[in-house]
A = this chain, B = another copy of it.
Amino acid sequence: MTLNKADKKLGKQTLVFSNKPIIASGGSVVGVKEGQGPLGNWFDMILEEDTFGEKTWEKSESKMLKEAINMAMTRGGKKQSDIDAILTGDLLNQLMSSAFMARDMQIPFIGLYGACSTMAESLLMGSVLIDGGYGSNIITGASSHYCTAERQFRMPLEHGNQRPPSAQWTATAAGAILLESNKNQFFEDEKPLIVDNSKNGPVTEKKVVITHGTLGKIIDTGLKDVNQMGAAMAPAFVDTVLNHLEDTGRKISDYDMVLSGDLGHIGKQIAIDLLADAGIPIKDLINCYDDCGAMIYEKEQDTHAGGSGCGCSASVFTGYIYKRMKKGELHRVLLISTGALLSTISPGQGESIPGIAHAVCIETC
Contacts and interface: CB of A to CB of B under 8 A. Distances in A.
A218 interface: yes
A250 B183 CA distance: 29
Interface in A153-196: 181, 183-184, 186
A341 interface: yes
Contacts of A125: 110, 125
Interface stretch (A32-40, A63-71, A330-338, A349-357): A349-357
Given A109-B216, A125-B110, A93 B93 contact: yes
A132 B136 contact: no
A242 interface: no
B218 A109 contact: yes
Interface residues of A, number: 66
Given A15-B134, A220-B103, A346 B96 contact: yes
Given A3-B183, A105-B217, 18 more contacts: A4-B181, A4-B183, A5-B183, A6-B134, A9-B134, A55-B349, A93-B93, A93-B343, A94-B113, A94-B343, A94-B344, A99-B342, A100-B346, A100-B351, A102-B217, A108-B215, A111-B121, A111-B341
Interface stretch (A84-92, A259-267, A278-286, A287-295): A84-92
A3 B184 contact: yes
Query: What 3 A-B pairs come out closest when comparing CB atoms?
Result: A132-B132, A7-B133, A108-B215
Contacts of A132: 8, 128, 131-134
Contacts of A56: 349
Interface in A311-365: 341-346, 349, 351, 354, 356
10 contacts: A4-B181, A5-B136, A56-B349, A58-B345, A58-B346, A89-B113, A93-B344, A99-B218, A102-B218, A106-B217
Contacts of A4: 136, 181, 183-184
A296 interface: no
